[in-house]
Amino acid sequence: MAEILDIVDENGEPTGETVDRETAHLKGVRHRTAHVWIFRKRAGKVQVLLQKRAEHKSSYPGCYDISSAGHIPAGVDYIPSALRELQEELGVTASSDELHFCGIRHIAHDDVFFGKEFHDRQVSKVYALWKDQDEADFTLQTEEVDSVLWMDFAECVERVQKNSFKHCIVIEELMILKRYLDKYEVL
């Protein structure tokens, strides 16, 4: 069954029209996603949880990525979708007041996956969630997630900048998170 998404304007507001996910990525139709980065503090350092995408994913297989992210179905808002994705992908139950809004990221990315054009146009709301939980205590959705890894946030920024590990994380989004962490003086 096709996943139906709201077509949105540049501010992420639904236009009243919808599109299926495959067509959105084929034609570059703007839609919404929610990104949740899970943080904890250990030994005086902020750590971020990275998910390793399943090897059979059509885009970025086996790459380290955002803790939890997903497309927002038509008629659903950002936060309920973010909470659903956390539960599905990682087995994390959270409430809306635990999500800290960090910023909005506009994504315009063109690529080819398995010989098929991929034109991604997203308006993503980026959230932080504080959850001190061991890697083994997450319940992973194996169709989506291979494993999870805690990494010191500063190390993650450095490694993304140097492209020193297999990932699909963009520095722009890490800088949104850094501004949030700096604002609350947790770094």
DSSP characters over 115-183: TEEEEEEEEEEEEEEE----GGGS---TTTEEEEEEEEHHHHHHHHHHT-SSB---HHHHHHHHHHHHH
Separation of alpha carbons 120 and 22, rounded Å: 10
What's the mean pLDDT when you consider all of the chain?
95
The 10s digit of each residue's pLDDT in 87-137 is: 999 999 999 999 999 999 999 989 887 788 889 999 999 999 999 999 999
Q: For residue 64, is pLDDT > 80?
A: yes
Of residues 187 and 100, which shows the higher confidence score? 100
Of residues 184 and 6, which shows the higher confidence score? 6
Q: How confident is the model at residue 187 (pLDDT cuts 50, 70, 90)?
A: low
Instruction: Provide the pLDDT for residue 185.
Output: 78
Instruction: Provide the pLDDT for residue 58.
Output: 79
3 Cβ contact partners less than 8 Å away, ≥ 6 residues apart: 20, 21, 71, 73
Whole-structure pTM value = 0.94
Separation of alpha carbons 137 and 122, rounded Å: 31
Nearest to 168 by CA among 78, 117, 107, 91: 107
Contact 150, 137 (CB under 8 A): no
Domains of the chain from N-terminus onward: 4-183 (3.90.79.10)
Q: For residue 186, is pLDDT > 80?
A: no
